[in-house]
Structure 1
Amino acid sequence: MGFWRKGSFRAFPRIGALAVALGALGVSAWAQQFEARRSIYVEAGGSLDNNGSASTAVLGLSLPMQQKLWGGRIGMAWNFYLGGWDGDAREGQRKYYAQIGVVPMFRYHFNDGSSPWFVEGGIGASYMHKTYQVGDKRFGTRWNFSDHLGVGRVFGDQHEQELGLYVKHVSNAGFKKPNPGETFLELRYAHAF
């Protein structure tokens, strides 16, 4: 049993809620300093499970919105993505899975919004074209929650580029067994347009 499969990730929704709460603080300065823009992004990563049996690649679109809430401005972006997973089915064989998802992401910039560094998080939904099964790990459903938490930096002359490191956890939150979940560490590059 890997570290993540022993239930240590049960706190992930609480971490996501904390990221949302942090996003609510200081975002009015961020909206003035770092205007949210549409962007496309690519991600690639591998499973954090001890056997490292799965990997993922993602192409996504981020559509930002500015909302007035609690007397301030909240920076939020809808992330729509199409991903591919692959993993060890049996010795010498691979299985491939297509995933589609949508996640509302909340972002917090440091130093009253003037820092290029940010943290962001969100919880959304995803659907896989077939039920995921890699080795002894099998999902109970094709529909799953997709929890994201990341840290990154905006750069470029027009602040048009981003680089971030994200942890993504996919599971059905116990609605149907089995529910082992899969957790990936991913590197993301985004470019605004």
Structure 2
Amino acid sequence: MAINKKIAILSGIATALLAGGVHAQDSGWVDSASFDFGTGPKVRMARLAVQKNWDARWFASNGRHLGGYWDLSAAYWRGTAYRNVPGQHQNLFVVGITPVARYQRDDKLGWYVEGGIGANLFSELYNNDDNQLSTAFQFGDHIGVGYVTQSKWDLGLKIQHYSNASIKRPNSGANFLVASARYQF
């Protein structure tokens, strides 16, 4: 499939995801929306996402529990060493879905820790700064910490890793340090 066609398809999916999220807020399908910015070795990422909280509460004790949410995302990556050539750029679009488990207070305010493993589809194969991903499908996993304010803002920091779990080589992975701002409706 041609690169332009892949980008058009992924852009359409991302637009539908985000537009649907805004409209779904009225129906209760979406609980929050977020913006993430990540940085890794010679690559940057900007990510928009919508979330739907799970109703489940596991291991409830002392005012805390394990819960979670679904995360639907659209991201843009910009590499600055395409094919390991400094100054050469690679632009990628990524869409993903991730179930995220979160250990938090029962009122969902204050400090939390979370982790998730999801599925992602890339517009083209990643090849930047001597890191290569040989499939358009990648797993994306993260661990993070954050704080939810009384005014419904969720501010977090996480370590994000993308890899195809050695389905096909090369598979050097891509890592990011990610800052996140999420608003809960």
TM tier, smaller: 0.7 to 0.9
Moved more, 134-143 or 181-190: 134-143
Aligned to 1:92: 87
The aligned residue for residue 149 of structure 2 is 155
Q: Cα–Cα, structure 1 residues 144 and 162, in superposed 2: closer, same or farther, change >3 Å?
A: same
Alignment of 1:63-102 (within 5 A): 63-67=52-56, 74-87=66-79, 88-89=81-82, 90-102=85-97
Aligned equivalent of 2:36, options 38, 43, 61: 43
Alpha carbons 1:171, 1:179 under 8 Å: kept: yes
- CA distance in 2: counterparts of 1:83 and 1:62, whole angstroms: 15
Pairing of 1:133-172 with structure 2 (within 5 A): 133-157=127-151, 160-172=152-164
Cα deviation, residue 63, structure 1: 0.7
Q: Structure 1-normalised TM-score?
A: 0.71
Instruction: Check conservation: 1:66, 1:74, Cα contact below 8 A.
Output: no
Query: Percent same amino acid at aligned positions?
Result: 31
Sort the Cα spacing of 1:71 and 1:162 in 2 relative to 1 into closer, same or farther, 3 A. Answer: closer
How far residue 93 of structure 1 moved from its aligned partner, in angstroms, is 1.9
Instruction: Give the TM-score of the pair, scaled to structure 2.
Output: 0.74
Q: Which amino acid aligns with 2:53?
A: P
Q: Deviation string for 1:112-138 (max 9, x for gaps)?
A: 767610001111110101111113221
C-alpha RMSD over aligned residues: 2.2
Q: Which residue of 1 aligns with 2:117?
A: 123
Moved over 2 A (4+): 67-74, 112-115
Structure 2, unaligned stretches of length 5 or more?
Answer: 1-29
Aligned twin of 2:23? none
- State the SS of the aligned residue for 2:54: strand
The answer to whether the 8 Å contact 2:58/2:67 transfers is no
Aligned positions, number:
150
